Amino acid sequence: MSRHKSAGRPNSQPVRNRDDGITSGPPRSASETETVALASLAAQCRDLTAYRDRLSQILDNLPMPVWLRAKDLSLTWVNQAHRVAVEVDVGVTPSEQNLELVPGLDADEAQVLARRAIEKGQPQAERWGFVVGGNRRSFELVEIPVGTGEVVGFAHDITERDDAVGELESYSDASAEMFSRLQSAVAIFNVERHLTFHNDAFVRLWKFDESWLELHPGHDEILENLRQRRLFPEQIDFLAYKNAIFDQYTSLLEPHEEMEVLPDGTIVRSVLSPHPMGGLMIVFDDVTDRLEMERARNTTDAVQRNILDHLREGVAVYGSDGRLKLYNAGFRECWGLADEFLGSEPHVSEVVEACRTLIFDASASASEWVSLKERIIENALEREPRTSRLHLTDGRTIHCSGKPLPDGPCCTRTPTREACLEMSKALWHPIRAKPYCNLVAHRHGHSVQRHGPNNPQML
């Protein structure tokens, strides 16, 4: 056109219009206005070409396959990731070779998803698995209809997501298997507050109809069911009570423990925890028997301690870890030890060290003390009763006897006064000398004696 314009002579050139028609006109010279309009049109064409090339370059750099289908749903363009997936060279066009992404499908089969997208007027997706680069991968194929009648498609690699979902399902199955074997009652509610899991212990504790639980009732329905059957603590404002529980679905960050007494006297301990997948997990335990046993044990301990405190002899009981578990006032006064020290459960070696000034002459060498202390602690490993006499540095003479407890530390929890006295007779055989002190050291049934440097027969 520029050449004809510079020559100043008429010309005729057919052009393609917007409707794909070919038009031509009689040759004539273009006016100045027409020349400007044509120049502007040429600039727009260059801009569109540059935009198309830039868009094509962007799509070629995407890490996922992308393709374009014509109105007849045949492929007209694919990006570089698509070519890599189907293993074709850059120069091969869709018209020269079947470039459908899913291997083994002909054109009609590959176009089913795109045809459905056209019919429904909205994006459609399908999951496919096939080999790419020698590895089997899972893809989600999406076809999107556009206003021109064409269809744009892309494939999203969801292999890692599927693997994660599979691992999560395996973990969930393993957790469900573990929960089903627990003696504790377990119930799991999702974010919509519907029951998604329960074990047999949950059914037994709350006496539910399991077929009803299989319908995944809501948390509020379960609470109402328990209230109607009078299996739940009476509440002044039941609605406020339920709302307080439901608030835990969004506010609970750490496990929360509660104790509730049911109308029949059963004491239930419940632990509410946020579930990793959203919702709540609640674990229920019937702790009635355990609390009664603890109450009885505490009563027994108090009785035994009271009996020991009224004994003239000093008594100390060591646990299997070698630490002081029990002592009476006679023991404390005999050795002049503070309650704060004795109450910290000191080790037998620490007790020996605290009594050093009473059982070892300060004029003796440090090495002699170390040797004596080691022998005392070593004797703690012997499984034989011992009776000894100690001459203390303050002039007192103390008779000591040690004997392993027959059933370990639990023997100090004998439930009756008579049994406790029988245990005392079995453990302590005081020889009447003033003041008295019986030191009982127990470590896995072994006894430990306290010796003084003035008692060579004990060394």
174-286 classified as CATH 3.40.50.11890: no
What is the model's pLDDT at position 416? 33
Residue 232: phi and psi, rounded to 5, are -130, 150
For residue 305, give the nearest of 223, 175, 412, 170 by alpha carbon. Answer: 412
How large is the angle between the packed helices 238-251 and 219-228, nearest 10 degrees? 150
Q: Is 174-286 in the same CATH topology as 66-157?
A: yes
Rounded Cα distance, 178 and 160, in Å: 27
Q: Which class is domain 66-157? A: alpha beta
Tokens of 194: 């519907």
Q: Please determine, for residue 459, whether its predicted confidence score (pLDDT) is greater than 70.
A: no
pLDDT, mean over the chain: 78
Tokens 């293993």 belong to which residue? 87
pLDDT confidence band for 11 (50 / 70 / 90)? low
Rounded Cα distance, 150 and 74, in Å: 10
Q: Please determine, for residue 446, whether its predicted confidence score (pLDDT) is greater than 50.
A: no
Rounded Cα distance, 308 and 434, in Å: 18
pLDDT confidence band for 166 (50 / 70 / 90)? confident
Looking at residue 289, its amino acid is D
Per residue in 282-308, pLDDT tens? 999 999 888 888 888 888 888 888 888
Q: Please determine, for residue 448, whether its predicted confidence score (pLDDT) is greater than 50.
A: no
CA distances 220 to 223, 237, 243, 275, Å, are 5, 14, 9, 18
Q: Which residue blocks in 183-335 are alpha helix, DSSP H?
A: 200-206, 210-213, 219-228, 238-251, 288-309, 329-335
Per residue in 59-117, pLDDT tens? 888 889 999 999 999 898 899 888 888 888 877 777 777 888 888 887 788 899 999 99
Q: Give the mean model confidence (pLDDT) for residues 391-409.
A: 76
Per residue in 233-260, pLDDT tens? 888 888 999 999 999 998 988 999 999 8
Q: What are the residue boundaries of the structural domains of the chain, listed by start?
A: 2-57, 66-157, 174-286, 293-458
Contacts of 440 (CB under 8 A, 6+ apart): 315, 316, 317, 318, 401, 402, 403, 427, 428, 447
- Which residues does residue 154 pair with via DSSP β-bridges, in sequence order? 66, 142
